[in-house]
Amino acid sequence: MLKPNMPLINDQEDAKVPAGLPAVIDAHVHIFPRNIFSAVWKWFDQNGWHIRYQMTSSEVLAFLISHGIQHIIAFQYAHRPGIAHELNRYMMGKCIEFGNRMTGLATVYPGEKDAERILREAFAAGLGGLKLHAHVQCFDMNSDEMNCLYECCLTNKKPIVMHVGREPRSVAYRCDPYEICSAEKLERVLQDFPGLKICVPHLGLDEISAYRKLIEKYDNLWLDTTMAIADYFPIDGKIDLGRYRSDRIMYGSDFPNIPYAWDRELKILKRANISCDALEKIAYKNATEFFSLKFRSVK
């Protein structure tokens, strides 16, 4: 699904969250130190799309807040062993800078030396969960090295966001997501760790139906909308949020690593054929529950 020269969409962006939406928590935002962000931009230029918003981390967070996003869940991921501790320190610095307007998640490289200690220290420092990306970090979610991370999250009552859907896949990754990712493999984790809150981004992408069924079956699974409802990727059939369990879907943007306007999915969400109650859940209530936020809307 990822390939070079994917389209950059020059759609209109507005200055604020669309009128008529409830409070919005963006549950999927990326920040990195500048050198890593630059490498991410270069990778996407070569293997996907041109990233429309090339900003520093502070600019990313300030942009979303100034445009009306009430709270931000910020992610990083360690693409190699040995850098997670410094990335977590960087994330804590941004949490201090932006206070109660953001929640930062920890990262760790599965299987690296002292991975569990790195994660414990990040939680002790105040980070609000763990973010992992199987396509980049090439982990098997059913491995012993992952089990210790699940246990650490459980012990510390922290959620985990794992990109373990098979798409968007790229031949530029050093592992094949189709070999390490599947809804079936995730179901084993859900069964083995029923007390662990897990979110899979992008509605699980190409296994849309399988993931929709999993959130009906397991109370410890959430999904986010990130890029899946933007009408950008070739997905079989139009996604109907009205068919989903509304208390298990969170809005997320993937900002700033997107090839279209920052508010594209918010406009689509506003037009979705769902109840006001479901809209409130997707826009902010589900993220409040999943990340255990003490959230109050900012006027």
- Measured CA to CA, the distance from residue 230 to residue 226 in angstroms comes to 8
What pLDDT does 171 receive? Answer: 86
Query: pTM for the whole thing?
Result: 0.96
- Measured CA to CA, the distance from residue 98 to residue 95 in angstroms comes to 5
| Domain limits, the chain | 25-290
**DSSP single-letter state for residue 130:** E
Contact 20, 40 (CB under 8 A): no
What pLDDT does 298 receive? Answer: 66
What pLDDT does 172 receive? Answer: 82
Tokens of 208: 């849309």
- Measured CA to CA, the distance from residue 117 to residue 105 in angstroms comes to 16
Contact 40, 288 (CB under 8 A): no
Q: Is 6 exposed, middle or buried (0-12, 13-18, 19+ CB in 10 A)?
A: middle
What pLDDT does 173 receive? Answer: 84
Evaluate the omega torsion of the peptide bond into residue 201 and state whether it is cis, within 30 degrees of 0.
Answer: no
Q: Cα 153 vs. chain centroid, distance in angstroms?
A: 17
Question: Fold for domain 25-290?
Answer: TIM Barrel (3.20.20)
Question: DSSP secondary structure string, 230-296?
Answer: SS-S--SS---GGGS-GGGEE----BTS-SS-TTHHHHHHHHSS--HHHHHIIIIIHHHHHTT----
The whole-number mean pLDDT for each consecutive block of 10 residues of the chain, a chain of 299 residues, reads 89 97 98 97 95 98 99 97 98 98 98 97 99 96 98 98 91 90 98 99 94 98 97 84 98 98 98 97 98 81
Q: b/e string for 38-63 if b means 16 or more Cβ within 10 A?
A: eebeebbeebbbebbeebebeebbee
